[in-house]
Amino acid sequence: MAERDSGLSAAADHAARFLRTLDERPVAARADATAIRDVLGGTLPDEGLDPEAVLDALATGAEPGIVASAGPRHFGFVIGGTLPAALAADWLVSAWDQCAAFHSLSPAAAAIEEIAAEWILDLLGLPAGASVGFVTGGQGANTTALAAARHAVLERAGWDVESDGLAGAPRVRVVCGEQAHATIYTALRLLGLGAQTAIRVQADGQGRMDPAALRETLAGLDGPMIVCVQAGNVATGAFDAFEPIADACAAHRAWLHVDGAFGLWAAAAPSTRALLQGAERADSWAVDAHKWLNVPYDSAMAIVADADAHRAAMSLAASYLVADAGERDSTNYVPESSRRARAVPVYAALRSLGRSGLAELVERNCAHARRMAAHLAEIPGGEILNEVVLNQVLVRLPGGDDANRAAIEAVQREGTCWLGGTQWEGHTVMRVSFSNWSTSDADVDRSAAAIAAAVA
Ligand SMILES: Cc1ncc(COP(=O)(O)O)c(C=O)c1O
């Protein structure tokens, strides 16, 4: 029988080689999935292969299709890298192979979740009694938090949605900002609340919900209500005005949910904390760890002020399950039953950064955004479209939509950096996003030069 640890050295060697080249390899992949399938695919052979040979073939075959999204110059979407301690801890998670559903299956995983949860609530300035579920991403966090919202607003209306479903239930009205992230609508679909029926409140030129329009909207509604707002618009980085929005929600007993996939981390840094003023008054929050906290995919937190509502929406019960009284059964905070010990890399990231390291990481990436905006503003005919309040830069390059699209594709092909486009006020524009711990000023300068060259 093969040794239990065979293959680990090969994996470590391949990983180390990859990480050593990460800063300098072209950011885009050099092969598409068809090419990778041609190398790694075919009929599954009858005979097995020893772990080392599997690892060698896998790493070599996948190599041209790997995107350097963990590296310092991937500025597309909102992509974090992986802090060394978080990466190493993630390897331990696989070696330990804990089923982090129940305390009885892993007291260590339960304890580490509790510690990471406490630290996160403290760092983000959220109520100490809130409950935290460690989910797969912003999508999972929004869905979990909105499931708790659905429970709570219907319970207040005398309806038990977990037992009786939505057929015949009082109608839940969901109100979102015009610029709510797509994952909010997917969550509404999954929860039977309806994506198309959500009421969209107008936003300003930065994508911020208009609080007066929200007040007016809520005044015209009655019955159970959920309001979804944003900390960190995916294009501009803008924050909704939480104080007046929380006032309006309180006046109408509406559940307030904050999608803060990346923006909620602004609370951890002194210079950006004020952007979140009033966000602590919400009922639930979604925040990713695989973005700005720089832990490996997939990792995020669903946070709910009313822990009972969170558990009511998510809890799992079956006669054979061993519940240890007074201990954390993590499955009661997430949609999954069996799952990996996802909080371990979160713990490692927080412990390795410390409070000051996290603040510095957030502030450094925000400074990168300002530096990039200053460079791009110098391109003749280029226009910075957003107030650069956080880590996002939205720029319209000279020429029309076709010229902007062509420039984005040229930058992606050239390989110094990678960034994407978006539609903003009817036009194709370029968006540049910073959330990687390893990005330096020199990376920003090099990338700005590559963008300027693509325009020229
Ligand atoms: C505001 C916002 N919400 C939700 C998401 C979705 O997060 P995930 O891709 O982790 O599901 C994103 C991703 O960029 C986001 O920016």
pLDDT of 208-239, one tens digit each? 999 999 999 999 999 999 999 999 999 999 99
| Rounded mean pLDDT, 35-44 | 97
Q: How far is CA 259 from CA 242, 293, 321, 328, 452, in A?
A: 12, 16, 33, 25, 34
64-104 confidence digits (pLDDT tens)? 999 999 999 999 999 999 999 999 999 999 999 999 999 99
Q: What is the pTM of this model?
A: 0.97
Give the mutation target among 74, 181, 297 for probing the ligand 1 site: most ligand atoms within 8 A of CB: 181
Q: How confident is the model at residue 328 (pLDDT cuts 50, 70, 90)?
A: very high
Q: Is 135 in the pocket of ligand 1 (CB under 6 A)?
A: no
- Of all protein residues, the one whose alpha carbon is nearest to atom 8 of ligand 1 is 138
So what's the pLDDT on residue 318? Answer: 67
Residues sharing a CB contact under 8 Å with residue 402, sequence separation 6 or more, in sequence order: 428
d(C-alpha 426, C-alpha 421), whole Å: 12
Contact (CB, 8 A) for 86 and 295: yes
Contact (CB, 8 A) for 124 and 275: no
Question: Given a cut of 80, is residue 423 above it in pLDDT?
Answer: yes
- Of all protein residues, the one whose alpha carbon is nearest to atom 2 of ligand 1 is 261
Q: How confident is the model at residue 2 (pLDDT cuts 50, 70, 90)?
A: low
Q: Please name which of 263, 299, 269, 300 lies closest in space to residue 282, comparing C-alpha atoms.
A: 263
So what's the pLDDT on residue 3? Answer: 87
Q: Is 288 in the pocket of ligand 1 (CB under 6 A)?
A: yes
From start to end of 145-224, where are the E strands? 173-177, 199-201
So what's the pLDDT on residue 456? Answer: 81
State in Å: Cα 453 to ligand 1 middle.
Answer: 30
Which pair of tokens denotes residue 127? 């109520």
Q: Is 177 in the pocket of ligand 1 (CB under 6 A)?
A: no
d(C-alpha 381, C-alpha 396), whole Å: 8
d(C-alpha 355, C-alpha 268), whole Å: 8
Q: Would you give the end-to-end CA distance of the chain in angstroms? A: 61
Q: Is 257 in the pocket of ligand 1 (CB under 6 A)?
A: no
Q: Is 181 in the pocket of ligand 1 (CB under 6 A)?
A: yes
Give the mutation target among 176, 208, 288 for probing the ligand 1 site: most ligand atoms within 8 A of CB: 288
Q: Is 180 in the pocket of ligand 1 (CB under 6 A)?
A: no
